């Protein structure tokens, strides 16, 4: 430090010493900056601005479920996916008891047709229609299914073979 003070003057003390140290540091910094701009360091790796190391950024790998959810939202596939969930996960949607005795047949314009395994179960499901609609809305979302059509099993067909007799057939047996 005594090099910056001329030899014929007494040695600097207090604020003068601090000023001399600051001037020397600023000169050294300016010299380094000038050298860096004159000859860039080729060993430095390129690092895009705005990205820090340990924090999350858009280049990080994403979960498949998150990517699929974003894709479905962008393409407008939420409603078809919800409708497919009604058929694919019927047991999860309505519960194992109801699913064991019924199955969804078709879904058009928000109206779900359900086929019960017997007429007794069809009656029971008609009584539970509001509960079923609430469960469906809870799993797949509101306004996917707005109305239920519940019917019993189809009656057996007696029109087999090439030769048939016209008439009611065994209708008295099946009502």
Check: CB of residue 111 under 8 Å from CB of residue 143: no
pLDDT at position 175 is 47
Helices (H), the chain: 15-38, 64-75, 78-88, 90-94, 96-100, 119-127, 129-140, 171-174
The 3 state secondary structure assigned to 59-75 is CCCCCHHHHHHHHHHHH
* pTM of this structure: 0.53
Task: Write the pLDDT tens digit of every residue in 79-99.
Answer: 888 888 899 999 999 999 999
Check: CB of residue 128 under 8 Å from CB of residue 95: no
What domains can you pick out in the chain, each with its CATH number? 92-155 (3.30.300.180)
The mean pLDDT of 122-134, rounded to a whole number, is: 93
């Amino acid at each position: 430090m005594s090099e910056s003070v001329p030899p014929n003057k007494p040695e600097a003390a207090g604020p003068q010493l601090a000023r001399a140290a600051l001037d020397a540091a600023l000169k050294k910094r300016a010299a380094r900056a000038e050298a860096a701009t004159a000859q860039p360091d080729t060993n430095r790796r390129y690092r895009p601005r705005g990205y820090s190391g340990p924090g999350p950024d858009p280049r990080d790998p994403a979960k498949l479920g998150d990517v699929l959810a974003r894709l479905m939202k962008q393409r407008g596939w939420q409603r078809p996916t919800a409708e497919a969930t009604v058929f694919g996960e019927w047991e999860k949607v309505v519960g194992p008891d109801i699913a064991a005795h019924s199955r969804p047949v078709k879904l058009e314009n928000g109206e779900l047709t359900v086929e019960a395994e017997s007429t007794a179960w069809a009656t029971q499901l008609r009584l539970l229609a509001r509960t079923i609609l609430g469960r469906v809305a809870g799993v797949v979302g509101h306004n996917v299914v707005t109305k239920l059509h519940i019917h019993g099993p189809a009656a057996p067909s007696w029109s087999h073979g090439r030769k048939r007799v016209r008439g009611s057939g065994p209708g008295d047996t099946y009502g």
